[in-house]
Structure 1
Amino acid sequence: MKTVIYLLQVSACTGIFYGFYFLLLRRLTFFTVNRWYLLATLFLSFAIPALTLNLSKVEGSSIMRPVVYIHEMQTVNEPIIASETAASVKQSNFNWILTLQMVYLLIAFASIIHLLFTLVVFFLKLNNKTLVRIGKVRVLKGSKRLGNSSFLNVIFINDDELEPEEVQQIIAHEMLHIKLMHSADRLIARVIQILLWFNPFAYFYIRSIEENHEFEVDRIAAGNDNKGLYASLLFKLAVSGKSYLFHGFSKVPLKKRISMLFNKPTSNMKKIIYLLTLPVVVLSCLAFAKLEQHKKLSVLGDLSNLGPHPLVLINDKVYDDEILYKISGSCISSTGIYPGGGKLKKFKKYGDKAKDGVVKISTNNNPITYLTAIGHENLEKEAAVPNSQFFAHLTLKNEDGTIYEKGIIHNPVGGGMSNEFKPGEKLAFVVNGKVFTEREVNKVEQLIKDTKPAVHGTGPAQDYKGKTDKSLDDYNIVFYFDTDTTRYMQKLKQTNDQKVAEEKSKREFEAFKKTDEYKQKMASMMRVSNKTLPFKIIAFVNNQPGIQKKGFKIVNDNEEFLLGTGYGQEKELKQLLKVGDVVDIKIFGGAFGKGQLITVSPAIVSKNGEKIFQLAEADKIPDYAFLYEANKVRFTDGQVTSIEKYPNGKWKSAVVEVVNGYKIRFNIKPSAPEFKNIEWGDHVRFRFVHEVKTGAKEYTVNDWVSISNDIRSYGIKNPDYFFKFYEAV
């Protein structure tokens, strides 16, 4: 496809350059200049689309750092579509691109055969009778089909009906073609015609090149005194048709040749017109060359969320922001990137210097080292991989000149990963247990788009513990993707009686799920969930079986529900509502059991168009930093800030800022999973244990359990603690 686009761009360039020639240059008598214009613009037409013009705009480039740790991403919210094999992907039965390529190559091949055949005929004609030799030029006896013409250093003369003076005139004419090397122009033009056989401007170029050759030679051969005799000879020997490669002495269009022969030479002042070629070339470059913004690359990764001149602090000393693009990762022990640094209290003293953000770097007081040419070359290779490209296999260099390889994956459903390995090591891709080779990476990409795996990771193949349809013994590195349907529940300490009761409850619920009552209630729940609907209060219930024993019985579309008033903020509804009221309720969620009404939880309740109730999460700020789950795991909701990173780009620490002003700083081990789908400013649910109070409204956590920017998922799990408190259902 890239070749097709390139040839179309070349064709567009030829159209622009030929249009300029046709409109402004073809009537000028500067034939030599016109000749070089036509040849030069043909070459420029091929060169311009291949150019890459670097613009001077500076911006950060996202560099994916080496990763060898297995991690888990967020669960995808969209329905999971099962697919056992990439072969199930429906593809178009007709490949237009392949068909166009085949047609192009077929016609180009036929044109090459035509050119070769013409050259073979020419070399066979060299056996004709030699009439005379002029230096290195041979004059051969021509024929009716190959009359007065020339090619390379050979002239063909058909002298059967010519006077000696006319033969001399023809030889002088063809000698000029040979001296000016016009045959080279024609060969170049024919080769370009083969490449651009579909482009009409290629044929216009050939015609104009041939005409310009004749105009140039006619003007020299006729001189100033013999134009009349020369024109008469042209008429006498006029022939129709055209030669593929040979220069014919007298052929149509004779009218143009004779008209140009008698035209008054163009004033030299008009040569200034050729200067207009420069803006035409510039416009063509801007239109068809690959424009690429020059990116300053940094080992710190993506700096695009910072302003143009962020404040840079290295070991608490201020440095010019240019150092961000020069410093080597080998000297960095930790980093912190603060896009809104100017608003943070600890950076207030720097004033406007922090308005474009702050980058804080620590080297543990070790000397600062800088990127070498090899290090920068590696960064450029990684940055050149577009985010739209699923997989890239790069060959990079160590500082000692030895090479290593790196695989980079941009997951089409979100996130990414990379791994470094030795030359010659084999890669495997595992999607839901099915093993693919590196050659099958296109199948892997399509399968991932179809199944939307929620989990991905990479590491040594021998450490992969998942089930596979083939052995991984022959592979060194594995990139794996799994559709995560596992759900987790809290681990609780239970007595034997409690465990027996729980097992009984599970069996009863599984049996209930198979009944028509369950299916009907589930359909009703789905109908009202997360919608704002009108309900009429028909009764107050004080003995409803189930968890919510108190509440208003409400009805919508002849279906009855229970609006609970027994717990928490919902107790307020008892004072706000009465039997007979008609209210609009946005349903937040619900629950039901066997023989129970569906109990709904209201997000918002409105009466007569006025909001009279809203969940506490929306209008009441809690006065605590976190809450406890039944398994003693703490949890809180807040915004991620103050991210600091290790030299390899992985998180070292971060802060979760709770809405009421509490801050919970948590530290992360180098071996922890990557926080791929979580960024600065994201709202997250954070779970942890063993917190230490380090200030009036500050806690420090070393033992984090999980963090997620989707409340419905546990998100990224700490393998050291998560499975101590949760178990798969």
Structure 2
Amino acid sequence: MNALEFFLKANLYLALFYACYHLGLRRHTFFSLNRAYLLASVVAALTLPLVELSLQTVEKLPVPVGVISLPVAVLAAPTESTGPDWETIGYGAYGLVAAGLFLRFLLRLTGVARLIARSERVPQNGFTLVRPDSERVPSFSFFRYLVLNPEDARHHADVVCRHELVHIRQWHSADVLFFELAQILFWINPVMLLYQRAIRQVHEFLADRGATTVEDSTQYATFLVEYAFSAQPDTLTNSFFNPTLLKERIQMLHRRATSRWAVWKYGLVLPLALGLLAMTSAPEKVQSLVSSISA
């Protein structure tokens, strides 16, 4: 398998998995399951293209052979190249853009580390409280560090810390870095931007649920509206407030808990993935199977 084939298959899996999430799962209140699904689907998209199946396995997979007929590409004999090697140029251009995005990622990571290093740090139980001098630094968490804006420290310390401690205890920063690296690898695929937005939504839903109760959800939603647009978050960290997620967070605070029976929807992804796996990992074998059954 060459690199182009791997990326085409991986991007196909990403699109399928995100479509399943967007259409059937994103409105559920199973936030931990949604988080696990988003992480596992990206890992699966990276590993499934490497799987090779035997004909016996293909015959057992849920492939709709009665309606699917995959074209089999016939490669012509290689001819002597007379022009530029566009394949190598394409790989080089793709890698150059990825390298630029990775450099940008390292600079942003370094910026967060420098901010923490030059600020006052107070060890706490299970985390480190960071007190920046500037009012312009928003409150956010990054792994075991909780950066508390001076204004928030004076007026909203309790609610902001409760929210950010959920991010810290559940290691949401690791998810953020994982999706940042996946975005660098699949920068050409717009689905990765949707994945990043989805994981941030789930993080905020989890943190909001951990920072409030059903009884004071209305008061908490009112606080979010009053707090709106007072800080501009860095997308590399788990900021307390992100204006683009405000509407979804308030809606989810008042959404009725999803019935446990809806968990079965997560299982629907498995046969879809297996069918796509058969069609992408053994297309000639599937074509042969379709032809024999059709005859």
Instruction: State the one-letter code of the partner of 1:116.
Output: L
Give the match for residue 195 of structure 1.
185
Structure 1 residue 125: Cα displacement: 1.4
Give the match for residue 97 of structure 1.
87
Flag the structure with more relative contact order, 1 or 2, with Cα contacts below 8 A and sequence separation at least 6: 2
The structure 2 residue matched to 1:278, chosen from 270, 279, 282, is 270
Structure with the bigger percentage of helix = 2
Shift in CA distance, 268/172, structure 1 to aligned 2, threshold 3 Å = same
Shift in CA distance, 175/230, structure 1 to aligned 2, threshold 3 Å = same
* Structure 2 residue 117 is the aligned partner of structure 1 residue 127: yes
After superposition, where does 1:4-403 map in structure 2 within 5 Å? Answer: 4-56=4-56, 91-130=81-120, 132-142=122-132, 143-160=134-151, 163-164=154-155, 166-239=156-229, 242-252=233-243, 253-290=245-282
Structure 1 residue 215: Cα displacement: 0.8
Instruction: State the one-letter code of the partner of 1:213.
Output: H
| 142-151 vs 178-187, greater mean Cα deviation | 142-151
SS at match of 1:135: coil
Instruction: State the one-letter code of the partner of 1:18.
Output: Y
Instruction: State the one-letter code of the partner of 2:180.
Output: R
Q: How big is each residue's C-alpha offset from its partner over 1:401-457, in whole Å with a ceiling of 9 and x where there is no partner?
A: xxxxxxxxxxxxxxxxxxxxxxxxxxxxxxxxxxxxxxxxxxxxxxxxxxxxxxxxx
Structure 1 residue 96: Cα displacement: 1.6
**Aligned mates of 2:82, 2:199 — CA distance in 1:** 44
Q: How big is each residue's C-alpha offset from its partner over 1:575-601, in whole Å with a ceiling of 9 and x where there is no partner?
A: xxxxxxxxxxxxxxxxxxxxxxxxxxx
**Aligned mates of 1:201, 1:160 — CA distance in 2:** 37
Normalising by the residue count of structure 2, what TM-score does the alignment of the two structures yield? Answer: 0.82
Instruction: State the one-letter code of the partner of 1:105.
Output: G
The gaps in structure 1 that reach 5 residues or longer are 58-88, 294-729
**Aligned mates of 1:131, 1:167 — CA distance in 2:** 16
Instruction: State the one-letter code of the partner of 2:166.
Output: L
After superposition, where does 1:442-457 map in structure 2 within 5 Å? Answer: none
Q: How big is each residue's C-alpha offset from its partner over 1:185-210, in whole Å with a ceiling of 9 and x where there is no partner?
A: 11111111111000111111111011
**Aligned mates of 2:51, 2:152 — CA distance in 1:** 55
The gaps in structure 2 that reach 5 residues or longer are 58-78, 286-295
Q: How big is each residue's C-alpha offset from its partner over 1:266-286, in whole Å with a ceiling of 9 and x where there is no partner?
A: 111111111112112212211
Any conservation in 1 of the 2:130–2:147 contact (CA below 8 Å)? yes
Any conservation in 2 of the 1:128–1:140 contact (CA below 8 Å)? no
Structure 1 residue 225: Cα displacement: 1.8
**Aligned mates of 2:16, 2:268 — CA distance in 1:** 13
Instruction: State the one-letter code of the partner of 2:262.
Output: K
Structure 1 residue 139: Cα displacement: 1.1
Structure 1 residue 144: Cα displacement: 4.4
**Aligned mates of 1:244, 1:92 — CA distance in 2:** 46
Any conservation in 2 of the 1:49–1:290 contact (CA below 8 Å)? no
Any conservation in 1 of the 2:139–2:152 contact (CA below 8 Å)? no
**Aligned mates of 1:242, 1:101 — CA distance in 2:** 34
**Aligned mates of 1:244, 1:170 — CA distance in 2:** 18
CA RMSD after TM alignment:
2.0
* Bigger radius of gyration among the two: 1
Structure 1 residue 176: Cα displacement: 0.6
Structure 1 residue 163: Cα displacement: 4.5
Structure 1 residue 122: Cα displacement: 1.6
**Aligned mates of 1:172, 1:265 — CA distance in 2:** 22
Paired-residue identity, %: 29
- Count of matched residue positions in the alignment of Structure 1 and Structure 2: 261
SS at match of 2:53: strand
Structure with the bigger percentage of strand = 1
